[in-house]
Structure 1
Amino acid sequence: MAVLGFPFVYDIYANLADNSNVILPVHQATIIWNAEEKVVNVLATGKRPLLGTALLDGHEIVIEFIEGGLVTINDLT
């Protein structure tokens, strides 16, 4: 995450799908969402940082799970 210039905020404990527990660093990023800038927390999980799904509250998401597949997000509010 340092490579992307995202500042460190804090560490959190996370329980993974295999029931193991890890400590993950949380960083802060600024994104554009619905044509507005938002400051969000991003979990540094290795090669692919995770942005939580809380942003999708009130939205419909359709994903084509194939390489290069289309992702469509529609506001339901």
Structure 2
Amino acid sequence: MMQGFVNSQYEAIIKIAVGHTNRELQMVDAIIDTGFTGFLSLPISIINGLQLPWYFRDFGTLGDGSEVIFDMYRAVVIWDGQTKVIDVAASEAEPLVGMSLLYGFKIEIEAIERGQVIIEALQ
């Protein structure tokens, strides 16, 4: 089980440990975004700081319907106590956790400021 909180902008936030293989991981606050189908997005400043390796370019469709090209990087995360290798999209937005990382999990959100966020594996 993983826990987070709802911030003052009513965004569901969780802390996620992310980094490069065989290096120290960094804790990052990320917004849960059910409209994002990828695993994780990070600003390029964090990607550069973690020295994540570039992997490929991918097309994506934003919420407004516009299409963009994302540079994709490889990263290691600790997810529900397990080490997992994932793709990370470079974006200038706040870090986002997407549905590919959440797949197979249940999310409970108390949708009030300082509300609790709980993520549990489905049985």
Aligned residue in 1 for 2:62: 16
Verify: 1:35 aligned to 2:81, yes or no: yes
Identity of aligned residues (%): 38
How far is the alpha carbon of 1:61 from its aligned partner?
0.6
How far is the alpha carbon of 1:58 from its aligned partner?
2.1
TM-score w.r.t. length of structure 1: 0.79
Verify: 1:45 aligned to 2:45, yes or no: no
How far is the alpha carbon of 1:64 from its aligned partner?
3.8
Whole-angstrom CA distance in 2 between matches of 1:49 and 1:11: 18
Count of matched residue pairs: 77
Q: RCO (CA 8 Å, sep 6+): is it higher in 1 or 2?
A: 2
> RMSD value over aligned CA atoms?
1.9
Over 2 Å off, 4+ runs? 47-52, 63-70
Unaligned runs of 5+ in 1: none
Letter aligned with residue 42 of structure 1: V
- Report if the CA contact (8 A) 1:27-1:41 is conserved: yes
Question: More deviation in 26-35 or 58-67?
Answer: 58-67
How far is the alpha carbon of 1:42 from its aligned partner?
1.0
Aligned residue in 2 for 1:5: 51
Unaligned runs of 5+ in 2: 1-46
TM-score w.r.t. length of structure 2: 0.53
